[in-house]
Structure 1
Amino acid sequence: MKTYNVYGIGHALVDIECHVDEPFLDAIGLQKGSMTLVDDHRQSLLTEQLKTRMIHRASGGSASNTMIGLAQLGGKCFHSCKIADDALGHFFTDDMRANGVENEALHCDTQQGTTGRCLVMITPDAERTLCTHLGVSETFSVENLSERHLAQSEYLYIEGYLVSSPTTCNAAIMAKNLAKTHGVRTALTFSDVSMIQFFRSGMDALISGGIDLLFCNENEALCYAGTDSLEVAIQRLKEISTAFCLTLGPRGALLYDQGSLLEIPGIKVNAVDTNGAGDLFAGAFLYGITHNQSIAQSGHLAIQASAQLVTQYGARLQRDQAIAIKKNFGSAL
């Protein structure tokens, strides 16, 4: 019996959500719906411009959000990341623990510098555009992995954003190799189209040898396959993963496992903020498959959780909301 359902690695960030319009994004040169890496100076300038539009602050990072989603549903996770010994770093750890990632399951190495932060700009159509300064999380390395805790987990979960620097990419590849050594299955999220477009060699190196479970959205799948045909993209994903979850926004998701492709319909809701929806989908899905649920059942749970999330601001549910979704889903959970 494994101690943890999932061992996660990724960038530790503090998310700062703001309301913007499309002309603002055009004025600052950002493509709507994308993630852009910036240096500390540009991030500070943008933060000053947006200070009257800020609506929410929370610990973030793709894998961090996924681990919180898993923990809020009752799963056991261990999360390795890197923060600075500063106010945002302390906020990150406090907020993670307050949202269900237990103190002993949060491995945050600290160093002097700045904790990573992400400006999450929400347009009226609920789309999120990310502007990220990685801070010290960019130096997350092999030394920051905990092989002991990884070996005690059912799954390793890797966020695709780690391919954006050689140091973090090497850590992700090492984690995958360690997982294989210890019989731990590997799950990967592509995270963002930009990781495929601009860091393809790192992504290919991470995928080399195959992935047990892949998470991606439609745009990421099409970009990875270099096609505008979803059918072609699906065939390409089958070549690199044993199973995958391909999210389709309001249309639901396609799930592939053991040679079968299953469609999970979406739930019609009034979306106001899509930030974190994919991360929570992954967390809820991982919770399901590590708690005796089928691929289909896990997919339905993930759709319900992410549909609830996009009706409110912020990248995660409240704990009581997660518990209610779990309760309403069925007694099997």
Structure 2
Amino acid sequence: MAKILVIGSMNMDLVVETERYPEEGETLIGGKFEQIPGGKGANQALAAAKLGDQVEFIGACGDDSFAPKLKSSLKAGGAEIDNIFEIKGVSTGVAVITVDKKGNNRIIVSPGANYELDPEKIEKIKDKIAEAEIILLQLEIPVDTIEKIVEIASKNKTKIILDPAPAQKLPADILTRVDYLLPNEGELDLLLAEAENKSRLEKIEALLKMGVKNIIVTEGEKGIYYYSQNKELHLETLKVKAVDTTAAGDVFAGAFAASLIAENNLKKALEFAVQAAAYSVTKRGAQSSIPDKKELNEFLAERSK
């Protein structure tokens, strides 16, 4: 039985390096091109598996050449993959990513099979949701699928961690059941229908009143901010030279879930997630930037010299 169940997207990332982003109608000659396993769900599952244990990933892929590579990456990292749905005649999800010389990225996602992960398929794996201690979710699969997962998880008292990315407005019956919400600042702005003229604290208060139990706002170099009904906390990020920020948020989410299960201590889980995310931005690619415990410990030991 998996303690952490990650349900979400799996994509092949098609990554091109560039000095700068092209203007409208402009063609640039880019640098290095790579095909790197990714997808927010698969990234988070791999991070949780490499930095913890007893992790299963459930998603959907096509019957093309990308699917075996994505499955192999997850399995090699220690994630269980027995319940991935293969959709005939549909492409596996693809993300087209450009990374500039400062390590910033721009991403276009073609969901493909990820959008075939519908509520009917979730019904087939509902026992997995009921048995897990934590469900980790993102928004690269249909929202009605998320609603179905959250409904099953809440009935079975399975803790729900939701990374609301890509940013979009969500119905109240999802938000009210979330135990840990992990938006960045832009995603926080889009979660609530009437958020335009509200300050950040007003948005936080509105979400807490709706029933969200814990909110963790990630702000890149500024660190993370934690809010609950009776507590606020700020943790600074580690100062590193960023090479590629592609999967930093996913590494944070996966590491947070892994540490929360292992330590049962919120502050330690947040600190661990910040450290893992900092490591990830020093490496290129999505899953290729995810550390295991040994790599993360060596990274931290080197910094302490």
TM-score for both structures, normalised by structure 1: 0.80
CA contact (8 A) 2:216 2:227 kept: yes
Corresponding residue SS for 1:161? coil
- Within a 5 Å distance, the mapping from 1:59-70 to structure 2 comes to 59-70=37-48
CA contact (8 A) 2:247 2:287 kept: yes
* Deviation, structure 1 residue 126: 1.8
- Within a 5 Å distance, the mapping from 1:109-188 to structure 2 comes to 109-145=86-122, 146-162=125-141, 168-188=142-162
Alignment-mate amino acid for residue 17 of structure 1: V
- Within a 5 Å distance, the mapping from 1:237-256 to structure 2 comes to 237-240=207-210, 241-256=212-227
**Residue in 2 aligned with 1:190?**
164
Alignment-mate amino acid for residue 107 of structure 1: I
**Residue in 1 aligned with 2:202?**
232
1:274 and 1:178 map into 2 onto residues whose CA distance is 33
2:234 aligned with 1:263:
yes
Alignment-mate amino acid for residue 294 of structure 1: N
Change (3 A) 1:18 1:101: same
**Residue in 2 aligned with 1:221?**
188
Aligned length: 295
2:79 aligned with 1:101:
yes
1:275 and 1:248 map into 2 onto residues whose CA distance is 14
- Within a 5 Å distance, the mapping from 1:288-299 to structure 2 comes to 288-299=259-270
* Deviation, structure 1 residue 50: 8.7
- Within a 5 Å distance, the mapping from 1:278-289 to structure 2 comes to 278-289=249-260
The C-alpha deviation readout for 1:104-124, integer Å capped at 9, x for no partner, is 4x5233322211100111122
**Residue in 2 aligned with 1:20?**
18
CA contact (8 A) 1:84 1:114 kept: yes
More strand, by proportion: 1
CA contact (8 A) 2:9 2:40 kept: yes
Q: Choose which of 54, 63, 86 in structure 2 pairs with 1:85.
A: 63
Alignment-mate amino acid for residue 19 of structure 1: E
Q: Percent identity?
A: 21
Range 314-323 or range 258-267, more displaced: 314-323
2:138 and 2:275 map into 1 onto residues whose CA distance is 22
Corresponding residue SS for 2:171? helix
**Residue in 2 aligned with 1:311?**
282
1:234 and 1:278 map into 2 onto residues whose CA distance is 19
The C-alpha deviation readout for 1:236-270, integer Å capped at 9, x for no partner, is 33234101211111111012245201111111111
Change (3 A) 1:216 1:208: closer
CA contact (8 A) 1:16 1:58 kept: yes
Change (3 A) 1:171 1:297: same
1:279 and 1:226 map into 2 onto residues whose CA distance is 27
* Deviation, structure 1 residue 27: 2.4
2:81 and 2:95 map into 1 onto residues whose CA distance is 23
Corresponding residue SS for 1:160? coil
More helix, by proportion: 1
Range 127-136 or range 63-72, more displaced: 127-136
**RMSD of equivalent CA atoms:** 2.5
Alignment-mate amino acid for residue 116 of structure 1: G
Alignment-mate amino acid for residue 27 of structure 1: E
1:78 and 1:326 map into 2 onto residues whose CA distance is 24
The C-alpha deviation readout for 1:110-153, integer Å capped at 9, x for no partner, is 32221110011112232211111111221211232211211110
1:91 and 1:207 map into 2 onto residues whose CA distance is 32
**Residue in 1 aligned with 2:36?**
58
1:286 and 1:14 map into 2 onto residues whose CA distance is 24
CA contact (8 A) 2:280 2:290 kept: no
2:114 and 2:291 map into 1 onto residues whose CA distance is 30
* Deviation, structure 1 residue 227: 4.5
Unaligned runs of 5+ in 2: none
Change (3 A) 1:294 1:82: same
